[in-house]
Amino acid sequence: MNADIAAFKKQLKDKGTKGLVIDLDETLSWTVYYMAGELAKLYGNPQNLSVEELCERMNARDIPFWNVEEVRKWGIQALESEEMTEEYPIMEGSDKAVEKINHVIPVVGYLTLRQTSVRDATKRWLAKHGFPDEPVITRPNNLKLEDGMKWKADTLAYLYPQVIGSIDDTLDIFNYLPSSYKGTIFLYGQTDYPKSDLNIIPCKTWDDVYKKVIEHQLARGA
């Protein structure tokens, strides 16, 4: 495991702290919304779709009015841009919910597929929106995005039990987490997910995440 991540685990262990990590994109940061708006400005919006509709079409990969190769190239640049990273809007209610959650289970860090080159910009963004000032674990710059989800799952599993789980919007992580993983995934924004032995708690909204975190703590007798 990467030295930064090993040091992060050791620090939590030495302090005796256990807590949650939180994902960034589409969990705290409405990244796709920003990108859809920028792409519409650059490449047009011939069907006059709202930005929300553009987001849905992007998620469904149903964007025939844009050149896929141009969008892909622009996306890679965007993901490396510190300026853009600082501009993303936040997911509605995430700031207030995280503040409350932090009183129930400590938020000990952030775990993201974003690469390390935008870590400082991400930290500035988190501070701007009042999120807890905790370490941001980012994908090593030399690790390809397509290998990122395996890295993220391995990292989460490695950090257990100091990191008891995460709040994340992606289903893909379940393809990589070992079935022996004992942590809890608060699955934000999703109600549908594949059957699994993993401890998955679906939460449609940030209010739901807060409620489910409380229920989880009560069930553990905390």
Q: What is the DSSP letter of 91?
A: P
Nearest distance, CB of residue 140 and Mg ion, angstroms: 18
Q: Is 208 in the site for Mg ion (CB under 5 A)?
A: no
Contact between 196 and 174 under an 8 Å Cβ cutoff? The reply is: yes
Q: Is 23 in the site for Mg ion (CB under 5 A)?
A: yes
Q: Which two tokens stand for residue 163?
A: 């990191």
Select the span of 16-24, 39-47, 87-95, 116-124 touching Mg ion (CB under 5 A): 16-24
Select the span of 23-31, 116-124, 157-165, 205-213 touching Mg ion (CB under 5 A): 23-31
Contact between 166 and 156 under an 8 Å Cβ cutoff? The reply is: yes
Which is nearer to Mg ion, 25 or 208 (by Cβ)? 25
Which is nearer to Mg ion, 56 or 215 (by Cβ)? 56
Which is nearer to Mg ion, 172 or 215 (by Cβ)? 172
Which is nearer to Mg ion, 26 or 134 (by Cβ)? 26
Q: Which of 8, 39, 125, 169 binds Mg ion (CB under 5 A)?
A: 169
Select the span of 41-49, 88-96, 127-135, 165-173 touching Mg ion (CB under 5 A): 165-173
39 membership: H or E segment, kind and range: helix 31-43
User: Which of 38, 61, 57 is closest to 47 using CA atoms?
Assistant: 57
Which is nearer to Mg ion, 114 or 216 (by Cβ)? 114
Please give the C-alpha separations between residue 66 and each of 42, 76, 132, 203, in angstroms, as whole numbers. Answer: 10, 16, 38, 33
Secondary structure of residue 95 in the 3-state scheme: helix
Per-position DSSP letters for 161-209, written without gaps between them = TTEEEEEE--SGGGGTS-TT--SEEEEET-S-----SSEEEEESSHHHH
Nearest distance, CB of residue 112 and Mg ion, angstroms: 7
Select the span of 134-142, 155-163, 168-176, 201-209 touching Mg ion (CB under 5 A): 168-176
Q: Is 25 in the site for Mg ion (CB under 5 A)?
A: yes
Binding site for Mg ion (CB under 5 A): 23, 25-27, 169
